[in-house]
A = this chain, B = another copy of it.
Amino acid sequence: MGRPPVKPSAALDRGLLPSLLGYVLRRAQSAVFDDFANTFAKAGEALTPGEFGLLVLVDRNAGLSQMALARALGIDRSTLVPILDRLQERGLLMRHRSPTDGRTHALALTPAGEKALARFARLVRAHEKRIASQLSAAEIRILIDLLEKVHTG
């Protein structure tokens, strides 16, 4: 009669999961997302990684259409609409009329959006430093490289 076979707060048996690239990737991604949210919350800002990526894309490609942006983000154009609505309501971004094509909107950051993006970029740098704190510079390069290979397929 030893103790009952159920250990009070023992770690669960995860079976083959820890050996699966997909599983480990998902967990790392989740940890990174949490740190991102935390970093911004502590700074009194509200932004998701997706929104940050979107803002950078619009910043670096002024006049972009919504279709081109949706394609670059890998989402449907209808998914993009409420996301842009929100960013526009926050005064970070504008939908201008394209002079050459009446169907499309030429996206651009507002001056306030540019300033906010600079602020966000600073937070992202701090966030990146934190999530890579256990990695050497060489390891970070390797990791990014390998992830790129996974993405390319």
Judged by a CB distance under 8 angstroms, whether A79 is at the interface is no
Give the CA-CA distance A21 to B18 in the complex, in Å: 21
Given known contacts A147-B143, A149-B135, A150-B32, A61 and B20 CB-to-CB distance under 8 angstroms: no
Asked whether B26 lies within 8 Å of A29 as measured between CB atoms, the reply is yes
Minimum CB–CB distance for A64 against chain B, Å: 7
Instruction: Pick from A15, A121, A150 the residue with the most CB of B within 10 Å.
Output: A150
Give the CA-CA distance A72 to B15 in the complex, in Å: 13
Asked whether A56 lies within 8 Å of B133 as measured between CB atoms, the reply is no
The number of chain A residues touching the other chain, given as a range, is 35 or more
Using CB atoms and an 8 Å cutoff, list the residues of chain A in contact with chain B.
Answer: 6, 12-32, 35-36, 49-50, 53, 56-57, 59-61, 63-64, 68, 72, 74, 121, 124, 127-128, 130-135, 139-140, 142-144, 146-153
Asked whether A23 lies within 8 Å of B143 as measured between CB atoms, the reply is no
Asked whether B121 lies within 8 Å of A150 as measured between CB atoms, the reply is no
Asked whether B21 lies within 8 Å of A144 as measured between CB atoms, the reply is yes
